[in-house]
Every structure is written in structure tokens, then in C-alpha cells.
A and B are shown apart, each in its own frame.
Chain A
């Protein structure tokens, strides 16, 4: 079952006289329970695509349907409503609120959705245990490590069981151990809970945790790879090969 269907997405920045086309007609569809990676060189428009798909930014033209609902025509208020119900976000720089504790940060989406306090508490306990952040629930973001921050951020994305979770370079600021920890957790949650995940990354290792990878070049989809039955190692090699062909910079940071 397809959960997100985007057709002929165009996106340009700037004004009439000084226009920069970043996305030039992209079609993507994401199935329910899928773990999709989006790869591409730096500046190729990955973040732009993710923002557009996740309703944070507007497309220039094109259509995006999530669960059969056209989101490009929605008003600001409806979009916000939609985001809080159906979407979850994980960002490279964590995007946690400094003045809130870990637990308060994680419970935010539930408080918008007006879930009862008791239900919220039990949701928090099970998810925090899965992600291993129970012990730090009363700490503030500046008192915990990057990996813990990102797991907190992930918990916040998952807690209200959204239809899709968008992640923009979630491992970008993490060391390799914390990164693989996080990716393991993400794919675990993806399997166990059947959550749909769309993740932007420039790291082939990170991409190898997903079930499908699409490559973007010059604002268009260059190609895509599916993991299928092969193991992670083999999928990783495939990705490396494609990336070499793509000729992009392998590591942007």
C-alpha cells in the first residue's frame, strides 16, 4: 500500500529574474512500512525534497498525496494540523528545545494531539525503554551526549505513531558507534512497529540500513536500488558502486 505519492515535483528558489531550479520533476512513492533513503551529492536538493515532502516547504508545482490526501493545496493551519497528526521529524542538529527536559521534549507531540496524560506516560515508558533513554528522562539536552540527543529526537518522532517519519541526516553529527546504534534502533522500530521512514543521508553505511535507496542528481531521480533479499553488507556494496558511478563527492563533511 502506498502511503506517500509525489508526482512531478518542481521547486525553485529566488525571484523571476534570478531563479534557481532545485527540483526538476521528481516522482516518488513510499509504501507503508518502508524504510527509504534519499542520497545525493551535497547541494543536490535532498533537504529541499524532504522539506517539500514533509510540508515544511511549498512546492512550485506538482502534487503530493499522503494517505490519499493532497497536501499541496492545504492552508497553513491545516498543514500544521496534518504535521502534528501524521508526521514525525528527526534532524541532523537534533532540534530539541533546550529549556525542556528529555521527557518533556518527547511528550510534546502528544500534548499537541491532546492525548490523555496517563496514556502519554505509558507510551513514553515503553518507547524510552526501547531507545534506552529512561535514565536520562529528567535531564536537559545540554547535559546529554549527541547520541542520546538523537535518540531523544527519534523518540519524539515516533511517540505519536505518525504515518511517516522524516529524517534529515540523523547521523550526520554522530560518531560511528552512536550512528550505528541509532540506525539499529530505527530499523528495529521500523520492523516492530511497521513505521514508515524517509531518511536523507550522504552516508552509504546509513543508507544500507534501509530497504530502498533513491539517488538524486541535478534535481532529478538518477536511479534507485532495492535491498530485496540481500544482506546489509551486499546492499552497502551496491550503494557504494552506484555512488561511484554518480561521481558525486563521497563525503560532504
Chain B
């Protein structure tokens, strides 16, 4: 057989076995190419303008390269180990190592370049779709055009060529280091030899679980007021990270074996087929894959966590804008308001206008408020707040001696806690009034600007308000004390009104604000962030799924002799398949569940800084992630099915 024939045959054989590797190659090059195409797309800078969308994408593409190259190198390592027997055979029949390396290089080159070319083609086709998705996410009306970018092609070609060279270097080192004998041994040395669990491993197992739980516990206490200065807060975060990550490693190293061993012990030697295939196999394998699994788990947790947080931010944009700007338009003074209303009238747009007088005064709220972060420079006995009369608000009424707060911000809310009722003292310049605090309204009534950036405003009776007005402390008053808010009556005219607003105040910075504009600009930032995180997350999801799948492929080959034995003993294919299902549930499920639970605790400890809805966005992210991830579990199951069918 000539060398060419040999290469061709190997290629054909390997293609069948490694179709997923080829798929992964195609997929990662497609992903990378479309991402880079996006980066070079002129519309990117056009629309993102000030926030440098291109730069963000560039930074993300570096990360993308890192993920993809680590994955490809890892996958290649798995495959070359599996082929070590074949390589040993070539050596045995007298081929030199150099020649074998050349064969491998050529073979890989064909496989690799074909996949990358297909991938680039697919990436090109998909880049329009991806651009459309991006535009949809950031809520921009722009036509996504299919543009071929030579720079993107060049960059992709260079990146993948470098990865190829790296892979070849690894292969070279691998072949160089092996002797004929050791080549034969690589696969036959099972990943772990079965043996009894030592006391040390049991200890590791217990410590692993304890560390994870401790990390979770501390994370749930992170912002509940127990850590009262920045330094301690920071230390706590480091502690959580370290304890969860180390715990995860030890969990795979020892806890899984430990727990499974306990279950096994309780069976007293009497295992059913599911237990034979799942418990006994996994308890040895997880231990030897501890490093890989803990990396996958940690990075999945990171991916799910970041995805959840960016989705929470994105999801909460409208809500957030509504609480920082209670009305559709906020106008700085009556002149601007008059100019705006004139234009609105000219366009025949129906609107309503309100003016709210907001005074600033100091209050002693020590009675209804307990903890606060030490370093926030915050003294509950002397807090400056915006004061609003109940006359100015239609839906709220306060009795003569009552006060209530309006406008609650989830993030700040973590640092202070109001009692349901209590006593408050309101200081005017020369005297003070004792008032009864009766509660907190979530909806804010004046923009953040008037209420000290997210703190609630205090609503008092008109009488109290007048009294205060007559005895104001001028030093703490803002430049303007009148809030002018405007709403458009017809939803259909809102957009037109916003255009009028933009025309009028295009360069007037400052106090004139449109809620729609704030929403849109935040959506742009959050949407872009979410898009990039999503893209990276998806890449990671697919690469880690592939790695787990490859691992399972390997294991199934390793375990094939066991399937032969079991079938000889009278277990049917279906019995075995059911057992394998149990096994896959653990093999894929344990890293997934652990990753989900890590990210849950990470997200719940700080989500309120990002938005005001936790569950919907987080659950959506988790469900989607789980769904995509499960595909790999199902694929591996199908592979096992074939192996089992052939075993006997």
C-alpha cells in the first residue's frame, strides 16, 4: 500500500469516528469567522458610537481564540492517544518517526483545512443571521447586510493556522517521546485502577463538600449586612471563590467516590445493572478526571452566572429607567418645558404635564433604619432627602403628622433596611418636626436627581411642606427645586414625541431627559454585553460539551469488554442501555448541576446590582443552557448504543 493510500484510508476511517471533532472544528471556525466579520463590519462602529462596540468585540474575540485553541489542542490530544496503537504499528513495520509524523501532518492538514474552509463558508452565511440577532437584541432598526470582509478572512486564517501549528507541535512532541512499547500501552493503562477507597480519600470527599457548602453559606450572607466594610467584603469574596473552586476540585476528586462508595457499601455486593454501569464506573473515573471536570464546572458556572447577570441587566432596563425617571420626559426648567410643549402642540401630540416642588431637608431616620455599610459615610440620624408634598401627587395622601417614602432601589436596598413603621424627625433650618413613618412605596415619584441618587423621597402633608418651605436651609437646596415631568397620552405618539424632544434638545446636555433615550442607550450597552457574553458562553458550552462527549467515547471503548461480559451473562442491550443512561445522567449531570448551583449562589449574592428581576431571566438562561448541554449527553448515549450493539 502506498503512503497516499494509507493516508486516504486512515482519513476515511477517522472521519467516521471523529465526526464530532470535525463538527467542532467546523463549528469553532464558523463561530470565529462570523464573530470577526462582525468586528470588521462598519455598521458596528456606526451604531455603537460612543461605547466602542468594535473594541469590545475585539477583546471578546481574543477570549474566543483562547477557548477554541485550548479545546482543539485538548481534543487533538485525546485523539492522538487513541491512535497510539496505530502509530506503534507503523513503527513496528519499520516506518520512522519522521515519516509517521509526516503522515499525521498531512492527514491532519486535509481534515483540518477542509473543516476550516467549510466553517468559514458557514460562518459567512451565518454572520448575517448573527448581525440580525444582535440588532434585535440591542433594539436597533438597521438592515443587516451580508458583507464579506477580507480582513476577517485573513485574521481567521492566521489564527487557525497558528492553532494548527500548535497542534502539530504537540503531535511531534508526543511521537518523539514515545517508544514502540509505550505507544501500545497508552490506552491499555486504564484511567484508574480499581482499588479500595483510602481514609485520605474519604477525608478529601468530606472536606470537598464542606468547602462548597461553606462558600455557598458565606455568599448568601455577603450583602446582608454582615460584612460592614469594603475590605472585609472583598476578603469574603476571595474566600468564597477559593472555597468553592477548591471544594469543586475535591468534590470530583473524592466526594463523588465517597458518596458512591457509601451507596455501594449499603448494597453489600448485590448490585443491579444500573449500579454496575453507573456507580462503579463513575466512582473511579471522576477521580482521575477531577481537574478537567472542575475546570468545566467552574467555567460553566462562570458562563451561566455572567449570562444570567447580563440578561438580568438587559431584562431590567425598562424597569430601571422607569424608577429613575418616573415620567416619560423630565424637563429642567419652565423655559425648556414651554419650548417642548410648543413643539408638541404644533405636532398635535396630546400630553400631560406635572410640576412637583421638591425641597431638600435633613431627617433623623435612626428609628426606622438599622444597618448601613460603615464606609458609606452615612449617618441615619442626619440624612438629606428630597421632600414632596402630598398635594402634588394624586394617588398618595399623608395625614398631618405622617410621612412616607417613595422610590425603592433594589441595589441600595441591600444596604439599608426600613422598619415598617416608626418615628422620624424632620429638621427645618431653625426647628424640627416629629413625624410618624407609615411605609414605603416602591414606585418613585421624582427622578433620582432630586432624591440623592436612588434614595427614596419623603412625602409629607401639605401643611408640613409649607412649614418647611418657610424655614428652609438654603445650603442643602439643589439648583432647581421644581421637577417638571411630562407624559404623552397616546402610546402611538410617544415615538414621534421623542423625536421632537431629540430635535429640540440634541445638544442641550443636563437636566432634560427622555426615558426612551435612557432605555435605548442602556439597552445598547447591556445588549452588546449580553450578546458577547452569550457568544462566548455558547462557544464554551459547545466546546465543553464536545470534550465530555469525547471522554465518553473513550470510556465506551474502554468499557466495551465489560459490555461483552455482561451480554454474555444474559443482560440484554436494553438492560445495558438503561444502565448507561443512568451513567450519563451522572457523567453529564454532576458537572451541570454543580455548575448551575454555583452560578445560582453567585448570582443571588449580587444580582440586585444589575437589575430588579432575578428569577425569570436566570431561569431562562439556565433552562436554555441545560437544554443545549443535554444534546451532548444524548449524542453520547447514541454512541454508546452503537458500542453496545457491537459488543458480543
Known contacts: A107-B270, A137-B269. The answer to whether A112 contacts B570 by CB under 8 A is yes
Decide if B268 is an interface residue (CB 8 Å cutoff): yes
User: C-beta contact mask, A52-81 vs B, less than 8 Å → 1, else 0?
Assistant: 000010000000000000000000110011
Known contacts: A100-B271, A108-B276, A111-B272. The answer to whether A140 contacts B195 by CB under 8 A is yes
Indicate which residue in A56, A112, A143 contacts B195 across the interface (CB closer than 8 Å): A143
Complex alpha-carbon distance, A1 and B571, angstroms: 29
9-residue interface stretch from A116-124, A171-179, A192-200, A214-222: A116-124
The interface residues of chain A lying within 8 Å CB-to-CB of B572 are 76-77, 80-81
Decide if B194 is an interface residue (CB 8 Å cutoff): yes
User: C-beta contact mask, B545-566 vs A, less than 8 Å → 1, else 0?
Assistant: 0000000000000000110111
Decide if B193 is an interface residue (CB 8 Å cutoff): yes
Q: Which residue of B lies closest to A54 (CB)?
A: B568
Number of interface residues of B (CB under 8 A): 31
A107 in contact with B281 (CB, 8 Å): no
Most buried by A among B281, B283, B569: B569
User: How many contacts A-B (CB < 8 Å)?
Assistant: 95
Complex alpha-carbon distance, A142 and B565, angstroms: 17
CB of A153 to closest CB in B, whole Å: 10
Within 8 A of B (CB), among A94-110: 95-101, 103-104, 106-110
User: DSSP majority for the B interface?
Assistant: helix
User: C-beta contact mask, B561-590 vs A, less than 8 Å → 1, else 0?
Assistant: 110111111111111000000000000000
Complex alpha-carbon distance, A143 and B193, angstroms: 10
Within 8 A of B (CB), among A108-146: 108-112, 117, 120-121, 124, 137-138, 140-143
The interface residues of chain A lying within 8 Å CB-to-CB of B190 are 98
A117 in contact with B281 (CB, 8 Å): no
User: DSSP majority for the A interface?
Assistant: helix
Decide if A89 is an interface residue (CB 8 Å cutoff): yes
A81 in contact with B272 (CB, 8 Å): no
Indicate which residue in B194, B280, B568 contacts A89 across the interface (CB closer than 8 Å): B568
B194 in contact with A85 (CB, 8 Å): no
The interface residues of chain A lying within 8 Å CB-to-CB of B575 are 80, 112
CB of B281 to closest CB in A, whole Å: 5
The interface residues of chain B lying within 8 Å CB-to-CB of A103 are 269
Decide if A9 is an interface residue (CB 8 Å cutoff): no
Q: Which residue of B lies closest to A93 (CB)?
A: B561
CB of A200 to closest CB in B, whole Å: 15
B570 in contact with A56 (CB, 8 Å): no
Known contacts: A56-B568, A112-B570. The answer to whether A142 contacts B269 by CB under 8 A is no
Decide if B648 is an interface residue (CB 8 Å cutoff): yes
B569 in contact with A83 (CB, 8 Å): yes
A99 in contact with B568 (CB, 8 Å): no
A104 in contact with B571 (CB, 8 Å): no
Decide if A39 is an interface residue (CB 8 Å cutoff): no
The interface residues of chain B lying within 8 Å CB-to-CB of A140 are 193-196
Indicate which residue in B194, B283, B648 contacts A142 across the interface (CB closer than 8 Å): B194
Within 8 A of A (CB), among B629-648: 648
The interface residues of chain B lying within 8 Å CB-to-CB of A156 are 569
B194 in contact with A99 (CB, 8 Å): yes
The interface residues of chain B lying within 8 Å CB-to-CB of A109 are 569-570
A85 in contact with B570 (CB, 8 Å): yes
CB of B548 to closest CB in A, whole Å: 20
The interface residues of chain A lying within 8 Å CB-to-CB of B273 are 111-112
The interface residues of chain A lying within 8 Å CB-to-CB of B284 are 99
CB of B58 to closest CB in A, whole Å: 49
A107 in contact with B569 (CB, 8 Å): no
B280 in contact with A95 (CB, 8 Å): no
Decide if A87 is an interface residue (CB 8 Å cutoff): yes
Q: Which residue of A lies closest to B574 (CB)?
A: A77
Most buried by A among B190, B194, B272, B564: B194
Most buried by B among A56, A82, A108, A142: A108
Decide if A84 is an interface residue (CB 8 Å cutoff): yes
CB of A142 to closest CB in B, whole Å: 5
Q: Name 14 extra pairs, CB < 8 A, besides A98-B562, A112-B570.
A: A76-B573, A77-B572, A80-B571, A84-B569, A84-B570, A85-B570, A99-B562, A100-B276, A104-B270, A108-B271, A111-B272, A111-B273, A138-B196, A142-B195
- B residues near A (Cβ < 8 Å) are 190, 193-196, 268-273, 276, 280-281, 283-284, 561-562, 564-575, 648
A-B contact pairs, 10 of them (CB 8 A): A76-B572, A81-B570, A98-B190, A99-B194, A99-B562, A100-B276, A106-B269, A108-B276, A110-B270, A112-B273
10 nearest A-B residue pairs (beta carbon): A84-B570, A83-B570, A103-B269, A140-B194, A99-B280, A80-B572, A95-B565, A104-B269, A99-B194, A80-B570
